[in-house]
Each structure stands twice: as structure tokens, then as C-alpha cells.
Amino acid sequence: MKKSKIAITLTVLALCASLLSGCFGNKNTTESTNNSAGNLTQYETLEPMSQTYFIFDTIVNVKIYDTRATKDNLKDIEDILKNIDMKISRNQETSEISKVIANAGIAPVQVSTDTYDLVSKALSYAERTNGMFDPAIGKLVGLWNIGHEGAHVPAVADIEEALQRCDYRKIEMNDDKHEIYLQEKGMDIDLGSIGKGYAADVIYDYLADKGFHSAIIDLGGNVFAMGSKPGGKKWTIGVQDPDKERGNGIGTIQVEDKTIVTSGIYERFFIEDGKMYQHILDPRTGYPVDNNISSVTIVTSRSTDADALSTTLFVLGIDEGLKFIENTPDAEALFITKDKKLYGTSGFKEMLKKTNDNYTFAN
Ligand code: ADP
Ligand code: MG
């Protein structure tokens, strides 16, 4: 049996987005509008300037809580998103990343500072994890094609061959010329693990530059809760129950000026012969990571880091992942396992107001 849930979900959501602005809940995290007593909070009286976009294969929703915000700001954000997509998307033939890939084994390609810095950032995580997080994993990502129509388990020989092309140490960076060179033909970069976080940061910086202090930037589960609610209270963000439809949480956290990013097994996957294959790959084996984790949620100050960290911790697993996050300043993590156990950093456990008794703390 084969099943591709994501294709259906995305189609429904895309329709939803094109018909109606702001009609959906978030993928992994949900912004709550009630305080703990269930009373309306002050900010709800201020209607946000809000728009929904469909880009990066995902639904993006931005809400600006400021009476000075205008439609022009929403248009600027659309341009920002398109601009990032034009730089880093593998699906856009003319993007800078596509040019880098097309020139693998041929020649270095000069790219914008944005692309250069993002690839450098991804490489820093690759180095920190000895390649468990690897932006050079594109060949394998393309082969498995998880989350897209027709995904199936590839032939072993094809996996072996793709694995040979996945090695971050063969991405050559030239700081002076801002050039990126993939040393071998057939190599491929994939920034799917970090791109949405990066986009959230760019939007955040744009809004900050315009003098706004209160916004929710949501890229399909990569949430940036900018500043605080109008009135100064913290934002309440729900942590998604991986086993339930979106909007059902295991609990909530209250944050101020933080980004919350989740990597999970539950939205991009397929099932073949009764086995589930999710979309984060193990660069040692060439197969999807097959551990007991349902999701990893990160809370930190920059979304690019949160996005890289959520994928990284997923690949590293609970023990290694918790060690890794302890050595990362200003970042908290929560693992949810398939058997409904919660493993968190002490900071996350302090923050989490658990509302679902099916889940229990295990550390
Ligand atoms: P999502 O895109 O659902 O938010 P993630 O941020 O965790 O989830 O990114 C997962 C994506 O990262 C995959 O779809 C793939 O494009 C890419 N990827 C898969 N395995 C790895 C890996 N080991 N290192 C870096 N990127 C990966
Ligand atoms: Mg990620």
C-alpha cells in the first residue's frame, strides 16, 4: 500500500489559501487567542494586518499587530518571500542554488550575500554534527522525493549511488568572491531544513526595521512570535500533538520575541508495505531516520537556527540531541516520542504548560 498524505493536505491548504486569507491553523504550533482563564486578552481587540501566502511548498501567514501596518507591508513581505525563493529554491531553474547545482563539478558560481551566508550557516551545522545535518543531501532528497506525488522506496543501488554524492565537505566556499562550488558532478544542495527559518528571520528583520513590535510570522509550523502581544503580555503558542489533526496540542508555552520551530514525522511521509517513511534522512544510511521520535520542537531567538536545530536534533536522536542543545546558547528543545513520552531541556520543561495527560515527562 502506498499513501501520500502531504499531497492531499497541501492541495487542500493551497485552495484554502487562495480562497481565503488567514483561514488555517498552523502546522505544528498554534497561536492561542485565550489566556489561561479563557478570557479574551486585550490584543484580540486589535485586528492584525494579515495575509496568507503559498510558497516554499507551504502555507505562510503573517499577522502584524500594529495600527500603522498597511497593505504595502504585506506586499513587501510577498516580494521578500518570492525573492528568497528565487535565490535558494531547487525547484526554480533560475535560482542561485539551481545554478550552483547545474555547475557541480564544472565551475564555482557567484551568489548573493544572502545565499552565501545561508549555505555557510548550514555548513556550520554540518561541521558541528559531523555531517548528520548535511545540506549536500540534495541527491538523496530528490531520489526519495518524500512529500511529493509518487514517492516510493528507491532501489538499493540508486540509494548507494546517491549517497556517494552527499558530502558537505565537498561544498567549497570562497569568502572573497562569494562563490560556491560543488566539487563533484551530480552533487546537489538542499536547504529545505533551514530555508523557512531563514525566511522568517528576513521577514522579522523587515518588520523590526519598519518599527513594528508585535507580529506572528508563521511558515507552515516555523513560527516567529515577534515581541509581545499588544498590551505587553507574552504570546501563547501551542505545541502540536503529533498524533492528532493540527490545532490539537499537548500543551502551550508562553514566549516573548522567540521563534518556535518543529520538525516532525507526521506531515511529509509515505507508507509502503505498512512501513512509514518520513522526510528527514540519515546521511550514513541513505534511508529516512528510523527512530522513536515523533517531533522535535526548538525555541530560540533566530528562526534560521531553530530550523537547522530541529532537523539536527531529529537526526541526532534524544541523547545526542539533548547534549547538542545543552552546548547551544539560548536554545530549548522538546522531543515527543511515538510512545507519547516527552524529553525536554530544563528550560523547555519549565515553559511547557502540559494540557494533555496522554503525554508524560520521561526526563
Ligand atoms: P520541514 O521542511 O517539514 O519543516 P525540516 O525543517 O526538518 O522539516 O526539514 C526537512 C527537510 O530537510 C527535508 O524535507 C529535506 O529537504 C532536508 N533534509 C532531510 N534530511 C536532512 C539531513 N540529514 N540534513 C539536512 N537536511 C535534511
Ligand atoms: Mg528544520
Residue 77's SS3 state is helix
Cβ atoms of 43 and 230 within 8 Å: the answer is yes
Distance separating alpha carbons of residues 71 and 77, to the nearest angstrom:
10
Q: For residue 21, what is its C-alpha cell?
A: 486569507
Cβ atoms of 42 and 65 within 8 Å: the answer is no
349 Cα to the center of ligand 2, angstroms: 21
Is the minimum distance from the CB of 201 to ligand 1 under 6 angstroms?
A: no
Question: By C-alpha distance, which of 266, 220, 263, 228 is closest to 244?
Answer: 266
From the alpha carbon of 315, which atom of ligand 1 is closest?
A: 23
Q: What is the pLDDT along the chain (363 residues), one digit of tens a residue?
A: 333 433 333 333 333 333 223 322 333 444 544 333 334 444 557 899 999 999 988 999 999 999 999 999 999 999 999 999 999 998 899 999 999 999 999 999 999 999 999 999 999 999 999 999 999 999 999 999 999 999 999 999 999 999 999 999 999 999 999 999 999 999 999 999 999 999 999 999 999 999 999 999 999 989 999 999 998 999 999 999 999 988 899 999 999 999 999 999 988 999 999 999 999 999 999 999 999 999 999 999 999 999 999 999 999 999 999 999 999 999 999 999 999 999 999 999 999 999 999 999 999
Cβ atoms of 237 and 252 within 8 Å: the answer is yes
Quick one: pLDDT at residue 30? 47
Is the minimum distance from the CB of 58 to ligand 1 under 6 angstroms?
A: no
Cβ atoms of 253 and 353 within 8 Å: the answer is yes
Cβ atoms of 88 and 96 within 8 Å: the answer is yes
DSSP string, 280-341: -B-TTTSSB--SSEEEEEEEES-HHHHHHHHHHHHHH-HHHHHHHHHTSTT-EEEEEETTSE
- The DSSP letter of residue 8 is H
Is the minimum distance from the CB of 27 to ligand 1 under 6 angstroms?
A: no
Quick one: pLDDT at residue 102? 98
CA angle 90-62-80, nearest 5°? 45
What residue's CA is closest to ligand 1, atom 5?
193
Phi-psi region of 259 (alpha: psi -120 to 50; beta: other; left: phi over 0): beta
- The DSSP letter of residue 229 is -
308 Cα to the center of ligand 2, angstroms: 5
Specify which residues 61 forms β-bridges with: 52, 218
* Alpha-helical segments (H) within the chain: 5-19, 71-88, 96-102, 113-128, 138-144, 156-164, 195-209, 303-316, 318-326, 346-351
Q: What is the CA radius of gyration of the chain?
A: 20
Is the minimum distance from the CB of 305 to ligand 1 under 6 angstroms?
A: no
pTM of the model: 0.89
From the alpha carbon of 190, which atom of ligand 1 is closest?
A: 16
Pick the ligand that lies closest to the CA of residue 168.
1
Cβ atoms of 190 and 145 within 8 Å: the answer is no
The 341-344 sheet, strands edge to edge = 49-55, 58-64, 214-219, 222-227, 258-264, 293-300, 332-337, 341-344, 360-361
Distance separating alpha carbons of residues 153 and 254, to the nearest angstrom:
41
Question: By C-alpha distance, which of 112, 302, 320, 335 is closest to 225?
Answer: 302
Q: Residue 238 is inside which H or E element, if any?
A: strand 235-240
Quick one: pLDDT at residue 267? 84
* Total Cβ atoms within 10 A of residue 326: 12
Determine the angle formed by the axes of helices 71-88 and 113-128, rounding to 10 degrees. Answer: 60
Pick the ligand that lies closest to the CA of residue 308.
2
From the alpha carbon of 221, which atom of ligand 1 is closest?
A: 4
